[in-house]
Amino acid sequence: MQIDKMSIKESAQPENNSGFIFTVLISYVALLLTGILLHPMWRDEIHFWSISGASSGLGDLLQRKEWDGHPDLWYILVYAVRSLFDNPVAMQLMHAGIALTTVFLILKYAPFPKVQRALLVFGYFFLFEYAMISRNYAIGILLITLILVLYPQRTRYIFLIALIMFLLVQTNMFSIILCMAFLLTWGFEFIFSKTFRTELLRKKATVAISIILVLAGIVYSLQTVIPPPAPNPSGVMDFSLSQLTLQELIRSVATVWKAWVPVPELTSQFWNTNMVGSDVIEAILALIMLFAAALLFIKRPVVLFLYTIGMAGIIGFIFIIFYGYLRHHGHLFLLLVICLWLKEFYQEQQLDSHPYFPEKIYQWMKRNSAHLVTFLLLIHVLAGMYAFAIQIVTPFSAGKETARYIRQEKLDRYLMAGDRDISLETVTSYLDQEAFYFGRKSFSRYLNYNPNLRHRPDESAIMMMADSLMRVNGDTILLVMNSPLTEARWVNLKRLQSFEQSIVADEVYYLYLLSPHPQLYKSPEEIK
């Protein structure tokens, strides 16, 4: 098999109409900024901000994050912003700038019709999940988009692409998988494309240095992602042979449907849900879609290889290592977009005729692929707009509202303590002050994910710790709880307010004041 490389044809180049780009960008900016201003961050977003604020320097930060399960790049960017600004909105605006840059590159360079480019950027992932929610995934998507922009001249910009890939693998595990898929694909093309092989062999030294750079980046990134050994690991690299079951395989394959057709349940807590709701049905639909896309790429072997190895890598990681959530599964959709983009770069290859090759289905897919892709992108837009609309009426997390109430009522003058630890961090981060974490039995400004330090005490244990803390402090303490306490059991426990409206189901809060008293428990007679 020989594969001939070709430059993108003029007919495949997008119409770079400045009016179109300007109009879409202005509309996107208006929606994005509105969404950010209405988006109270949840724990996984604001954790980066709080851990940066608690660190005495960059080295201290990178040491503190060792249990988080993420590479370094986003921490470094957030640390740089936090060193200049005190308001966490600054981090959100930086994230918005990253998302906006990605959108600009897609509108200007993606080889898709105008309508598809517009639908893509207003879709669920590019408008909501990877834009309004400030996480480390957006920077990875920007770097992948830069690789796609440079792809037609990738043999000219070998070292530049290697530098981009070095940064890419410092963003998240799924970007590492996609980077490795690119490397393996170029190895495949090197073997089967004489033109590509000849061009690379002319620059052997540059190619060798570039490969070493990217591989060193992958090794370093994995070293920062894998947490230290622990009796009960809870990070990304959590693996057990017991999870390799048919049920888990079906569940993992079903993530393709969740990512490609992210239509949520029509509830206020829509996040990470899918309207189908059955793993078996979703897996069947996913296999049909995977086969259809593979058929579309089948006469472009390089793209088919990237698609196959990338899908296998991501689904395999989900199955074996970490199931994750829709923000992780979204990289399956990103890979589809990558392959649709690169499909325009390669000449269609003639395959040897085979009686079982579904030529008629292939030709139908080829004729109708534009309509099918447009329909799929329209679904993403509807999902994105639904997420945007729900966020307007329901706070993404009640943490910011809780912190505002505490500050407004001057409750921050009290020593603060609470549980669960993962949800308490959101409130402490917005208040930018320490709290006593019952689950860790210590004070902190941020959540340390070290499982050796984390426990889940019951209500009695929590109240005994609160009573002891109050006696040492000699004053009333403020309890920030993630679930209501049984007020009837405890002396001098006063419920102040609750904040129960939240898209993130477990980021609701109940505030209590516990005042000094000789006894903690009420007698049975008092309870009655």
Interatomic CA distance for residues 444 and 77, integer angstroms: 23
Are 235 and 452 spatial neighbours (Cβ–Cβ below 8 Å)? Answer: no
**In Å, how far are 284, 464, 488 from 526, measured between CA atoms?**
59, 19, 8
- Residue-level pLDDT at 353: 62
Instruction: Note the pLDDT of residue 524.
Output: 64
- Cβ pair 230, 452 in contact under 8 A: yes
13: three-class secondary structure by DSSP: coil
Residue 26 CA to chain centroid, in angstroms? 25
What is the amino acid identity at position 436? F
Task: Indicate the SS3 state at residue 47.
Answer: helix
Looking at the whole model, is its pTM more than 0.85?
Answer: yes
| DSSP H or E stretch at residue 417 | strand 415-419
Cβ–Cβ < 8 Å for 311, 332: yes
Is residue 190 within 8 Å of residue 200, measured between CB atoms? yes
> What is the predicted pLDDT for the residue at 237?
52
pLDDT score recorded for residue 341: 98
Check: CB of residue 414 under 8 Å from CB of residue 514: no
Give 481's strand partners: 419, 510
Question: What pLDDT is attached to residue 289?
Answer: 97
Looking at residue 351, the DSSP 8-state letter turns out to be P
Q: What is the pLDDT of residue 361?
A: 85
Indicate the domain borders of the chain. 10-393, 399-527
Alpha helices in 193-277 (DSSP H): 194-201, 204-225, 246-253, 255-260
- Give pLDDT tens digits for 141-152: 999 999 999 999
**Residue from 60, 134, 128, 59 nearest 90 by CA:** 134
Q: What is the pLDDT of residue 234?
A: 44
Say if residues 257 and 285 touch (Cβ distance below 8 Å).
yes
> Taking a C-beta distance cutoff of 8 angstroms, is the pair 325, 272 a contact?
yes
Q: What's the confidence (pLDDT) of residue 356?
A: 72
Share of the chain above pLDDT 90, in %: 84
- Burial class, 171, CB count within 10 angstroms (exposed 0-12 / middle 13-18 / buried 19+): buried
Ranges of the chain with pLDDT below 70: 1-16, 230-240, 242, 352-355, 522-528
pLDDT at position 10 is 39
Coil vs helix vs strand at 112: coil
Total Cβ atoms within 10 A of residue 356:
5
| CA dihedral over 55, 56, 61, 63, signed as positive or negative | negative
- Tell me the two tokens of residue 408: 């407004």
